[in-house]
Amino acid sequence: MTSQVKRAFKFRFYPTDAQAAELSRTFGCVRKVYNLALQARTEAWQQRQERVGYNITSAMLTAWKKTEDLAYLSEVSSVPLQQTLRHLQGAFTNFWARRCSYPTFKSQKKSRRSAEYTSSAFRFRNGELTLAKMAESLAIVWSRPLPRGSTPTTVTVSQDSAGRWFVSLLCDDQPTPMPATDAVVGLDAGITSLLTLSRPVGTLTDGQGKIRNPQHERKDRARLAKAQRCLSRKTKGSNNRAKARLKVGRAHARIADRRRDFLHKVTTALVRENQTIVIEDLSVRSILRNRTLARAVSDASWSELRSMLEYKTRWYGRDLVVIDRWFPSSKLCSACGTLRGRMPLNVREWTCGCGTPHDRDVNAAKNILAAGLAVAACGDGVRPQRSTPGGQSSMKQEVVPPQRTHAAAQSRD
C-alpha cells in the first residue's frame, strides 16, 4: 500500500488589477526581507563568528517593520515574510551539510517571483481560494480536481518570466498503486534518441526500442534568437524593453512547457508498463562542462526525467534501480560478455568478436538492465571484472558502492 504523500497541484489564475498590485508588492517585500536577513547573517559570521538562526531573524523582521524606511513591510501579509526566513534557514542548513553552495541574494530581474502562504493566511472554501489582505477570491482555472476530501496546507503564488500567474496548492494524497506486472526495462539516455530501451514498450518507441528526442529548444531556436535580438535593441528602462522581455520569456516558457509535457508522457508510460526500471547514475553537471554537448544535454533534460521517474515509481508501487555511473554499458557485449577497449562517441554500431552486431545504445540498454537486476538482487552497485589478457571478461559481478543508488521506497528529499 502506498503511503500518504504531499502533492502540489499547480493551476493558472487571472488576478484583477488590485490583486496583481498586491501580489507584486508581496513579491518585492519577500525579496527584500530575504536579502536583509542574508546580509545580517553573513555580517554576523564575518565580524563576530556568530551563527544567526531563524528565531533571531524573525525578531529582526519585527524591528525592521518599526523603522521608517521599512514600514512598508507591514502593508503586506506577514506569513510570506516569515516563510522566506524559513527558506533562508533551509538554504543555510543545506550549505552546512555541503549539499549546495552559499546562499546568494535575490535579484529583482532574475529571481523567481513567488510568495508562500500557510493555512493561517488563506481561506479555501467551496472551491474558492482567498489570500490574506485580499477581499476577492482568485479566478483559478481548475484544470483538474484536487484529491477528494483533502484541504490545501500551503499555497504558493508565483509569476513566471512570461507574465503568467500560477497558484500551487500542497495537499495530502494517497496515490493508488498500479497493478503489478513482471515487465522490466533498462534505459540508456542519449541525445539523438532521448531514451533507448532494452525492449520496445508501447507506442512511444520505434522498431529498435528508441524514444525520439523532440529537441524543443532546437526547433524554437530561431524564434528565441529573434526575440532576444529585439530585446537587445531596446532602451534600458523603457516600456518597449519590458514588452520585449516578455516576448523572450514567452519563448522560453513555450520550450519548457512542451519539454515538461513530453517528459511526463514518457515517464508515465514507462511506469505504467514496467514493474522495474533500471537507469544509469549520470553526472549531468559534469557533462554540462563539455561545451560541445552542453546545449543538447540541457535540452534533453536528463535530470528532470530522472526526478519524474523517482517520484512516480515511489507513488505507484514500482521499483527504480540506479546502477553505478562507471559501469561500461556501451563497451560490454550483451551476448558474450566481452569488454571492448576504447569506444569514441562517433562509433554508433560495432560487431563483437563473437560475431554479434550491436547498436551502441540498444546494447547499452540491455547491459544496464542486466546490471540492474544484479543491483536488485544484492542491493548495491555493480561493475564487471576487468578483461583477461585474451580480451574476455567474466560476467561475474564485483560489488562496489555506487555514488548514488535509489530504490522506490527511498524519498527524493
Tell me which residues are annotated as active site.
188, 280, 361
Cβ of 124: how many Cβ atoms within 10 Å? 15
Report in angstroms the alpha-carbon separations of 95 from 49, 101, 118.
Answer: 16, 6, 25
Cβ of 126: how many Cβ atoms within 10 Å? 5
Cβ of 29: how many Cβ atoms within 10 Å? 22
**Strands 184-189 and 193-197, sheet pairing:** antiparallel
Report in angstroms the alpha-carbon separations of 107 from 30, 32, 35, 146, 333.
Answer: 12, 10, 9, 34, 51
With a CB cutoff of 8 Å and minimum separation 6, the contacts of 342 are: none
Secondary structure of residue 175 in the 3-state scheme: coil
Nearest CA to 303 out of 346, 339, 260 is that of 260
Cα–Cα distance for residue pair 24/404, rounded to 1 Å: 40
